[in-house]
Amino acid sequence: MAEPIESMRNPPARNLPGLLVSDNTANAYTAPPESLTREDLARAKDRFAVERTRHNFRLPASWRWLRLLWLLAGPGVLVFLGENDAPSMLSYAATGSQFGIGFFLPFIVLTFAAAWVVQEMTVRLGAVTHRGHAEMIFDRFGPFWGVFSMIDLVLGNFLTLITEFIGIRAGLGFFGVPPLVAVGGALVLILAVTMTSRYWTWERILLTMALFNGLFIPVALLTHPDWGAVGHAFLTWSPLPGGLGSSNLIMMMADIGATVTPWMLFFQQGATTDKGMQPRDVNFGRWDTSIGTLLAAVFGIAAVLATVPLFTHGISAANFQGAQFAQALEPYVGRLGATLFALGLVEAGLVAAISISTSSAYAFGEVMHHAHSLNRTVKEAWPFYLVLTGSALAAGAIVLIPHAPLEFIVLIVNVIAVLAMPPALLFLLLLVNDRQVMGNRVNSLWLNIAGISVTVALITAGISYALTVVFPQLF
């Protein structure tokens, strides 16, 4: 069924009358839609399961809460485990191999705490407005900034997508899989997951895949880490060896970019909207985001610990790629550990490729006023699926070009993400402090302090990096 033309400033409801009643907040629309689409019916089915559980008082309160968490979790876990992508895990691996156990362990935890602050605002914005991030920017700040945010996101996402396929190619290269087969197989899997035409199915498949990010934990355990040194690193936070030199600053920027990036805002808000979350679900959205943050932080630290033996034995890993890390670790973790490390890179690349291409498609559909839901069929939302699959196909093709500057792209992509993040955060802070948008769910004083602190920290990091490039003699 064709979707009725929608006004950006007065969109029709996505709630079915009598079934989904939102909290008394601005932009919580309750009027019946002009016509029902497959998207409406699929989302209503998911929401009915939530409401039935919420009002099933025959269940003990604890079981009812756990059941609701199971139904409402997804976007938060996916956005964080998706951000633990191939270049991120390689950044963590490079951190462990170059610095060992010390400054960067608590630093990585701090970056994840900053990311939680950002994503909490995102899920709240999506649950209250029922609209995607690019659409909100378009609506509140005008077409120029809406289109600008979409183009900026799509270009940044495309560069990141290239790095995901580099990680997949490198990980499978450890097993002797030819690049064409590695990239082609990944594309087939991405297309298969995407074409379910059902958000719930897509989300659960992707969540299952994302949990394999935990493969880095057994690799770390096989290295027999010095847990006393790990505890000391967290309790004392030793200074950065060598100070804020340009190479150290680049590593810090890469680790920040491995945790806080613009695509995460667009993906989680789009997924929250596609899932049909309501203002009353915000607390579950926070739990979902917290679980994702915790899992991603543990898996990221595991990737650091996994490569500490390279630092201990003085093996230079400055120019290592994915398969080279696995090969270099084999004498210390055995064939099993090296295999798990390589498979972890493949998983990281696959989950991120699906998540990032979906965030591009959400933004495109929102700004161009096309249907943008994974509850739609390809026929109903072909521009959405075209952006999603086309960006993945193009990125995979570039990875197969002989002599393409793949190492340079991997190095620079996380740094670009950090530099692009402050403008995105400024838009987010303005939106979540707008009572016309958020009603009584605007930011609290403490959330504003945290959000502004994160923004200032990222701006400072970007300026510091720029100074190391322009005035290297100062560092």
The mean predicted confidence, pLDDT, of the chain is 83
- Is residue 89 within 8 A of residue 345, CB to CB? The reply is yes
CA distance 130 to 275: 10
The one-letter amino acid code at 419 reads L
Residue 203 CA, chain-centre distance (Å), reads: 14
pLDDT computed for residue 466 by the predictor: 62
- Is residue 249 within 8 A of residue 100, CB to CB? The reply is no
pLDDT computed for residue 246 by the predictor: 65
Least confident interval from 56-60, 88-92, 421-425, 466-470 = 466-470
DSSP state of 278: -
DSSP SS3 for 245: coil
Q: What is the mean pLDDT of residues 354-374?
A: 87
For residue 289, the number of C-alpha atoms closer than 13 Å in the C-beta half-sphere is 26
pLDDT computed for residue 268 by the predictor: 93
- Domain parsing of the chain, residue ranges: 72-474
Backbone dihedral region for residue 12 (phi beyond 0: left; psi -120 to 50: alpha; all else: beta): beta
CA distance 18 to 298: 43
How buried is residue 11: exposed, middle or buried, by Cβ count under 10 Å (0-12/13-18/19+)?
A: middle
Q: What is the pTM of this model?
A: 0.87
CA distance 123 to 271: 9
Q: What is the mean pLDDT of residues 219-225?
A: 93
Q: Which residue has the higher pLDDT, 292 or 317?
A: 292
Confidence of residue 472 (pLDDT cuts 50, 70, 90): low
Segment 238-253, tens digit of pLDDT: 787 776 666 777 788 7
pLDDT computed for residue 19 by the predictor: 38
- CB environment 380-415: b (16+ within 10 A), e (fewer): bbebbbebbbebbeebbebbeeeeeebeebbbbbbb
CATH of domain 72-474: 1.20.1740.10
Q: How many CB atoms lie within 10 A of CB 416?
A: 18
DSSP state of 318: T
In 22-174, which residue ranges form alpha helices assigned H by DSSP? 38-54, 61-72, 75-83, 86-99, 104-129, 133-141, 143-173
pLDDT computed for residue 163 by the predictor: 86
CA distance 363 to 154: 8
Residue with tokens 């059941």: 67
Total residues found in the chain within this entry: 475
CA distance 269 to 296: 19
Task: Of 422, 395, 425, give the one whose Cα is nearest residue 186.
Answer: 395
pLDDT computed for residue 470 by the predictor: 57
CA distance 423 to 416: 13
Confidence of residue 222 (pLDDT cuts 50, 70, 90): very high
Confidence of residue 414 (pLDDT cuts 50, 70, 90): low
CA distance 190 to 169: 15
